[in-house]
Amino acid sequence: MPSLDDTEDQPCGRGGRHELSAPRLRAGTPERAGLDPVALGHLAAGARALTAGERPWAAGAVVLAGRGPVIAVAEATGWAVRYARHDPGTGTGVELPPAARVPAALDTRFDLASLTKLFTSVAAVQQIERGTLGIDTRVGDCLPDFHAAVAHGITVRQLLTHTSGLRPELPLYDCPDDATRLDLLRAEAPVAAPGTYRYSDLNMLLLQSVLERITGRPLDVLVRDGITRPLGMAATAFGPCPGAAATEDQRRPWAKADRGMLRGVVHDENAWALGGVAGHAGLFSTAPDLAVFCRALLAGGSYGPARILGQDYVELLFTPPGLGFAVDQPSFMGALAGRGAAGHTGFTGTSLVVDPATDTFLILLANTVHPSRRPADNGPRAALATLLSQAVI
């Protein structure tokens, strides 16, 4: 995992230009971060409460929070693996013997689910910065074989802002082969008027296809070479990821496929059907790795000697309504929302928030779908974010 130690400012070059390196993350006290220790104590207690009780919000969780280059809260609680299976008769999980369970740790990898969309979005904006892609480019200009996108004039901006009008998803997991899945995506027309907000995984799948077509490289390589390797995020990659936190005992009728207890393979059925690399889901990571990602964004696209985006393009990501990032959403950002905070949630129990106004970040990785999926509950996410907001001095 990336180092959390300080580093000396040093010159680095990109295109012959020398820049100062952005400070690296380090563990520190609340006071050193400019945060109230009492409020952060409540945040840490709130993190531990996520896994408490007989029917906890999550089997296991890791919470990291900080300000500037200082990580002031780092809590791992509960179990990365707690259950052997889900019992549909009782609606509860069948617990493993204590000796067979795996505790959650700060370096536990979790299935990020839709937090993957943030990396796809950054990869797209990198191409916009380089001039190889225009934000208002029509998808059909890059993908002329995607006939529905051509006919409806869907643009890259609409994909990034979820305003293409495409439905939330397609049953790609029921297709017999890759050719059939591709045919479905090519033929899929908007179900709402373009410009209408409608959150959709299909937006990121089309964006993935655009990126792969214009660069000639697969998405996992774009993310690795453009984001995770420069930032030193060695624990972040598309699966399979042996040793990751378990997710769901995935069986019909509550799931869309019969795959059994999942650990180290992507939870999302469509991402699984696409081989584990998809624009909307498939990445695994740790909280310390994601803290580096957050820090790079808050520092204008730089971390240490690496720069993944220019500051203007980071600001473009965060300009309402956000490109891939949700902006000022109190449903999961709590009181951090309202000043330009940006982030996202993931179905497996993950979330990430960065607040440029206060230079703070909050990462929550959890396996709420272990051993089975349940209705979404953003309350704990919002509560932790509000506690972080209250800690800002």
DSSP 5-63: S-----EEEETTEEEEPBPPPEE--HHHHTB-HHHHHHHHHHHHHTT-SSS-S-SEEEE
- pLDDT value for 54: 85
CA-angle at 238, arms to 166 and 142, nearest 5°: 40
Q: Residue 12 — pLDDT band, cuts 50, 70, 90?
A: very low
Q: In the structure, how many helices (H) and strands (E) does the chain have?
A: 15, 19
Neighbours of 371 (CB within 10 A): 24
CA 172, distance to chain mean position in Å, is 21
Residue 383 has pLDDT above 60, yes or no: yes
Task: Render pLDDT for 20-78 as a digit per residue (tens, 0 to 9).
Answer: 567 899 999 999 999 999 999 999 999 999 999 988 999 999 999 999 999 999 999 99
C-beta of residue 216 within 8 angstroms of C-beta of residue 225: no
Q: What does DSSP say about strands 70-81 and 26-27: parallel, antiparallel, or unpaired?
A: parallel
- pLDDT value for 21: 66
Task: Render pLDDT for 238-270 as a digit per residue (tens, 0 to 9).
Answer: 999 999 999 999 999 999 999 999 999 999 999
Task: Render pLDDT for 349-375 as a digit per residue (tens, 0 to 9).
Answer: 999 999 999 999 999 999 999 999 988
- pLDDT value for 308: 98
Residue 102 has pLDDT above 70, yes or no: yes
User: Of 375, 344, 215, 372, which is closest to residue 281 (Cα–Cα)?
Assistant: 344
Task: Render pLDDT for 145-185 as a digit per residue (tens, 0 to 9).
Answer: 999 999 999 999 999 999 999 999 999 999 999 999 999 99
Domains and CATH numbers, the chain: 17-110+285-391 (3.40.710)
Residues 6+ apart with CB under 8 A from 301: 307, 308, 309, 310, 311, 313, 314
Phi-psi region of 385 (alpha: psi -120 to 50; beta: other; left: phi over 0): alpha
For residues 123 and 217, what is the distance between their CA atoms, to the nearest angstrom? 12
Task: Render pLDDT for 305-341 as a digit per residue (tens, 0 to 9).
Answer: 999 999 999 999 999 999 999 999 999 999 999 999 9
Ordered DSSP codes for 55-89: S-S-SEEEEEEEETTEEEEEEEEEEEE-EEEEETT
- pLDDT value for 20: 54
Residue 225 has pLDDT above 90, yes or no: yes
For residues 201 and 282, what is the distance between their CA atoms, to the nearest angstrom? 12
312: amino acid identity, one letter: D
Residue 82 has pLDDT above 50, yes or no: yes
Report the first-to-last Cα separation within the chain, whole angstroms.
Answer: 30
For residues 4 and 157, what is the distance between their CA atoms, to the nearest angstrom? 35
Instruction: Kindly state the average pLDDT of the residues 289-294.
Output: 98
Which pTM was predicted? 0.94
CA-angle at 78, arms to 292 and 24, nearest 5°: 15
Which residue reads 């500037």 in tokens? 68
Residue 6 has pLDDT above 60, yes or no: no
Residue 5 has pLDDT above 50, yes or no: no
Percent of all residues in the chain with a pLDDT value above 70, rounded to a whole number: 95
